[in-house]
Amino acid sequence: MHNSSEGPGAVAARLTGIAVTGERPLSSSLAEVTLDDGRVVMVKRGDGDRAARAEAAGLRWLAEAGTVHVPAVHGEDAGWLVTDRVPTGGPDAGSAERLGRELAALHACGAPAFGAPPPGGPEDAYIGLAPMRNVTGPDWPRWYAEHRVLPYLRGAVDDGTIRGAEAPLIERVCERLPELAGPAEPPARLHGDLWNGNVLWGTDGHAWLIDPAAHGGHRETDLAMLHLFGCPHLDRILDGYQDAAPLAAGWADRIALHQLFPLLVHAVLFGRGYAEQALAAAGSALKD
């Protein structure tokens, strides 16, 4: 067993096997560490006992596709993850369009099933600070209801963030998912937590993706996440995506449906404001 009180520098040295010459804390759970060979790595403390392993497995699964740019994993254990640092610049339209094409290619690499975890990744994983179970299901509407919407709805009702009288609105969306979901799609290889904060605009002209909650899912879910909190040059990302792999007709009308999951996760983590957004998204999804 390693020392649970060790700092980021000691972790980097242990997991990479390379001596450390400096470290710079960025937050209570993240630090930049300079290795003896001159490289700078990011050392991140996991939020749960499986979080680092889940994230490492997700990064490797995305990297294995050879499509999107993700930082290389240099080591992980139950509590820590060491990855490349991405030198960041500013967003630009060309990088955004490239990201759209790369996302389309990533999704097309597929997954064994809806809900499939990355190879070597735990079934009990995380999305941000919230637990997320990667349990498989045969069809997307039923799986999305059972394993992505209803568990967080129950959590939000249990802690009083969503009132009992409000829950049936979201339950109705789940009941109607087979007709609301659009044409059937094969399981896509998803980043899984693709909000603006997890897109880094590299100085190399590429967009880099970090902090995945990777699993097999519906490709429209990643794109709905990008819409949720806004993203620079989102129109160009979508242009690149549509050029590479056109989305099914009516996809824009299904954005609210795919945002239900992240909004409910946020309601559980951060409270009533997101619960109200989730209820609004449910109402929007039910409108023909």
Tell me which residues are annotated as active site. Answer: 193
- DSSP letters along 212-273, please? ---EEE-HHHHHHHHHHS--TTHHHHHHHHHHHSPPPTTGGGGHHHHHHHHHHHHHHHH-HH
C-alpha span between 166 and 154 (Å, rounded): 12
Other beta carbons less than 10 A from residue 81's beta carbon: 27
Identify the CA nearest to 144 among candidates 220, 203, 82, 195.
220
Tokens 């997890």, located at residue: 198
Question: How far is Cα 164 from Cα 131, in angstroms, rounded to an integer?
Answer: 22
Backbone angles phi, psi at 195, to 5 degrees: -95, 165
Straight-line distance from the first to the last Cα atom of the chain, in angstroms, rounded to the nearest whole number: 56
Strand 124-127, strand 130-133: pairing = antiparallel
Q: Give the count of beta carbons closer than 10 Å to the beta carbon of residue 120.
A: 12
Q: What angle do CA 218, 273, 151 make, to 5 degrees?
A: 45
Spatial distance between the Cα atoms of 74 and 80, rounded to a whole number of angstroms? 11
Q: 108 is written with which tokens?
A: 């097309």
